[in-house]
Chains A and B, each alone.
Chain A
Amino acid sequence: DQQVKQNSPSLSVQEGRISILNCDYTNSMFDYFLWYKKYPAEGPTFLISISSIKDKNEDGRFTVFLNKSAKHLSLHIVPSQPGDSAVYFCAASTLSSKLTFGTGTRLQVTL
């Protein structure tokens, strides 16, 4: 069963607007959540993370929100830029430090 779900395979946003990528999880033992960005023919690169003791973490244009009661997290990118066009994976971890990944959302930022 898919413990981490990204239900939107793709998202298109205009440059300058907000991009919101969503992720849901089912395992209540997850205590740390990460977002990775992946360009074609490259490996994923770490973007931002959040611990389960927080509900928000911000880094420049990127903000991650965590709603533990709903088992939902989201990544906000403001303002979106063409260079943000990539596949975004959310990932979750328990104390073991192993990561469980979602299936990814392809973001396209249009001019």
Chain B
Amino acid sequence: NAGVTQTPKFQVLKTGQSMTLQCAQDMNHNSMYWYRQDPGMGLRLIYYSASEGTTDKGEVPNGYNVSRLNKREFSLRLESAAPSQTSVYFCASSPGGAGTYEQYFGPGTRLTVT
């Protein structure tokens, strides 16, 4: 099992450009999450999908959109990138449902916006 995979690993964008970060999991998990990690800020939740067909905003959703394409895939889109979106982005998944808290993380995408 590959677990949680993310593409690309690195990306450089110019201000105003758009891109989509891809995430897939092969653990048959119901819930998926997108986080960003910035120095001194820990991991902050951008969006999550508790189950296929549903998405909800997290702590820092502005400037992002998500799509839960199917049970396996959860993508994050930046429509018009800004330098403040320079960060490391992590996708995670969890079984979902009552009493399941542990999340499994992908290796991350390092994004730089110039």
Contact = CB atoms under 8 A, between A and B. Distances in A.
A43 B105 contact: yes
A12 interface: no
Contacts of A102: 42
B111 to A, nearest CB: 14
Interface string B81-94: 00000000010101
Contacts of B105: 36, 43-45
Given A98-B48, A98-B58, A44 B101 contact: no
A68 to B, nearest CB: 17
Contacts of A89: 42-43
A101 B42 contact: yes
B90 A49 contact: no
Interface in B20-54: 31, 33, 35, 40-45, 48, 50
B90 A44 contact: yes
Interface residues of B, number: 28
Contacts of A101: 35, 42-44
Contact of B101 (A9, A41, A43, A99): A99
Given A43-B90, A103-B41, A93 B108 contact: no
Interface residues of A, number: 24
A65 B44 CA distance: 24
A34 B100 CA distance: 12
A43 B110 CA distance: 11
Interface in A1-53: 4, 6, 9, 32, 34, 36, 41-46, 49
Interface in A46-96: 46, 49, 89, 93, 95
A8 B107 CA distance: 25
Contacts of A43: 4, 90, 92, 105-108
A93 B108 CA distance: 22
B15 interface: no
Interface of A: 4, 6, 9, 32, 34, 36, 41-46, 49, 89, 93, 95, 97-104
